[in-house]
Structures are given as C-alpha cells and as structure tokens.
Amino acid sequence: MAGPRVEVDGSIMEGGGQILRVSTALSCLLGLPLRVQKIRAGRSTPGLRPQHLSGLEMIRDLCDGRLEGAEIGSTEITFTPEKIKGGIHTADTKTAGSVCLLMQVSMPCVLFAASPSELHLKGGTNAEMAPQIDYTVMVFKPIVEKFGFRFNCDIKTRGYYPKGGGEVIVRMSPVKQLNPINLTDRGCVTKIYGRAFVAGVLPFKVAKDMAAAAVRCIRKEIRDLYVNIQPVQEPKDQAFGNGNGIIIIAETSTGCLFAGSSLGKRGVNADKVGIEAAEMLLANLRHGGTVDEYLQDQLIVFMALANGVSRIKTGPVTLHTQTAIHFAEQIAKAKFIVKKSEDEEDASKDTYIIECQGIGMTNPNL
C-alpha cells in the first residue's frame, strides 16, 4: 500500500494549519504516506500548536496510522495512513483551538470509513481565526450536504477564548461516492436572520446592542427585508467561560447562504461587534458569488473527491482557497480551472467560477 512519500512544503501560500489539514486528510483518504516540512514556518509561533496536534492525532486514530514528529513546536511530521475505520473518536485541543477546524480535517475521511462515525470534538466552539460553530451548522452544513451525505452536529457545550472547554458531537455515515455540485445561480436575497449571544458573566444588554447595531447597519443598504437577529443568553450549563458574538446569515431564492460574524473582545463595545459582522455580510453579498469567502476553501476538498465536474461561483479567490486547490491538485490529482465569470450581471464585479474535475473517490469498504 505504501508508495513513495508525498512531500509537502508547509510554508508556501497560506503557510499555516490549513496546509496540514488538507494534506493529511487527502493522505489518509488516498492511502498515501506523507511528509510535511516547514510547518507554519513563517508564523510568529512556528510549528505545531495544540489544535494542529489534536487534528493530526485524530486523523492518525481514524485510520490506525503512524505519525512521527508530532509534538508542540515541531515543524516536520511524517504520516503513514492505514484503513479508515468508523466508530467513536475523540479529539481535544485542551485550549480554545477550534472544534470546527477539527471537523474540517476529519469529515472527508470518515465519509469513506467502513462504518458510521461519532466524533467527539473538544475545544473552542466560537473562537477567533476559525469558523464559529453556528457558521458550521447554519451555512457549511446545508451546502456541503449537496455532495450527497448527511451529518448531525450536536452542540453539547460552548467554549470561548482563552479556555475553550466546548464540546460538539458529530455523527455521520459513510458514502459510496460524493456527487459533484453546481452552485452558479445566485438568485436574490430573500431572508436575513441571525443570533447575537452572550455567555457567562456578560449582561444580556450586550446581545441586544450587538443585534440592534447590526440591524441598523444592514438597513442602510437593504431596506425591503425584515432582518431578524435574535439576542440569546447561552444557558449556564451549556457554555463554559465568558464570551459574546454575533452571526448573521443571508439566504437567497436559490438556497445560497452567506454569513458575516464577529466575536467580542475585552474593551470593544457591543455596537462595534454587531457592525463588523453586518459589514462582513454586506461585503459578501456585493461580489455576486454563490458562496461567501469562508465557504470557498472548505468546499475544495469535497469537489476534488466528487465523481464528476463541480462548479462554484465566488467573489475574489482567497489565499486559503488557492492553497486548498494547490494541494488537491498535487496530492489527489484533481483538476481545477479558475476563471472570471462571463455572465452579464457579473461583468462589473470581481466574480469567478471555480471548476473541478473530481477524482471520483470510491469507498473501498462499501
């Protein structure tokens, strides 16, 4: 099974944890031994951080693989995958490291397992520099399920920076193959909704202020739609630590979903958090694509594995997306074409079509 090792330079392009996630997931799926060097070489704290390590250990456990060089601060690892198995797997970042990033690395793998899986992911559910769990459930889930699978995401406890302490349980069954997707028809915005939350010691007024400021900001640009942002006090027994934040979703007539989100930080007033999320959402609605800038790169691996041609329409192609494409081409040998959209209504906008000829990965266990 083990051929020559795939060599990956972890310092190019996005240069961070994403390279590790994409390359180890593909290595695991395709049974290709892997060496990643110069991991996060350009970052202020180079090498593996706790959340990267727990992601690697999880992938290793999913397939009874061999992992060498995996410790905090390490800049080189080798990974030798074996057969992917289902069952119960736990990954704990022991920090506010994002459970959503753990989900990103493990989900493609367990789709091609021998039996259903239950992933117990522990860490931050609403953390900086990563999708919030609400984004994963409200935006990522309905779109990624278009590839022809279902998963269930049960948020047991929410956890915030700096302690983490959140837990999410993801359940999914394997598939034989993934269907390609075609997301090129934007439609028009029909609904805008969201949630503004406070947890721990923060007063409920903060949630109301974030929501109100966000609504005011959106109203300036979109007048004819009711904007429904619920202020929420996270129940004491379902949230660990203190935090506040907001996520706002726009839904279109064709089922496209876009989001803007923001997390509160000490000393930043609530209005500013709400406005930041609203402005992010509005920016994502201006470019004419069918996915927002955060969903773009999360779909690449699935497109690469699918059986047939997938197309998505996006705004400017992010560095994360370019990185995912690079490694999907290098490791999985999928073929991508990125070109400017030729539709009339996109002419004045920065809109692109990402097209992929997927490799038609087949689950050997089913």
Q: Could you read off the pLDDT of 75-105 as tens digits, one per residue?
A: 999 999 999 999 999 999 999 999 999 999 9
* Residues ≥6 apart with Cβ < 8 Å to 358: 178, 180, 303, 304, 305, 306, 307, 308, 309, 310, 334
Say whether pLDDT at 60 is over 80: yes
Which pLDDT tens digit goes with each residue over 305-323?
999 999 999 999 999 999 9
**pLDDT for residue 4 is more than 90:** no
What's the confidence (pLDDT) of residue 105?
95
User: What CA–CA distance (Å, rounded) separates 124 from 101?
Assistant: 10
Evaluate whether 130 touches 212 at the Cβ level (below 8 Å).
no
301 pLDDT more than 90: yes
Domain residue spans of the chain: 6-183+291-359, 189-285
- What was the pLDDT predicted at 19? 97
Q: Do domains 6-183+291-359 and 189-285 have the same CATH topology?
A: no
Mean pLDDT, residues 129-155: 97
Under the banding of pLDDT at 50, 70 and 90, the label for residue 2 is: low
Q: Taking residues 210-230, what's their average pLDDT?
A: 97
Question: Which of 366, 197, 159 is CA-nearest to residue 277?
Answer: 197
Confidence band for 347, pLDDT divided at 50, 70 and 90? confident
Q: How many CA atoms lie within 13 A of 311 on its CB side?
A: 13
The answer to whether residue 65 scores a pLDDT higher than 70 is yes
109 burial type by CB count under 10 A (0-12 exposed, 13-18 middle, 19+ buried): buried
Domain 189-285's class? alpha beta
Binding residues for ATP: 104, 131, 294, 297-298, 320
Mean pLDDT over 124-141 rounds to: 96
Give SS3 for 310. Answer: strand
Backbone angles phi, psi at 363, to 5 degrees: -75, 115
For the stretch 150-167, pLDDT in tens is 999 999 999 999 999 999
Least confident range of 14-18, 186-190, 312-316, 343-347: 343-347
DSSP-H helix ranges across the chain: 17-30, 50-62, 99-111, 133-135, 141-144, 204-221, 270-286, 293-305, 319-332
- Tell me what percent of the residues of the chain surpass a pLDDT of 90: 95
In this predicted structure, the answer to whether residue 1 has a pLDDT above a threshold of 90 is no
Q: What is the band of 187 on the pLDDT scale with cuts at 50, 70, 90?
A: very high
CATH architecture entry for 6-183+291-359? Alpha-beta prism (3.65)
Which residue, 116, 132, 91, is CA-closest to 171?
116
Percent of the chain residues topping a pLDDT of 70: 99
Q: Please name the amino acid found at residue 269.
A: N
- pLDDT value for 309: 98
Per the annotation, binding residues are 104, 131, 294, 297-298, 320
Catalytic residue set: 320
Q: What is the mean pLDDT of residues 332-350?
A: 92
pLDDT in the model for residue 3: 67
For 283-296, what is the mean pLDDT? 95
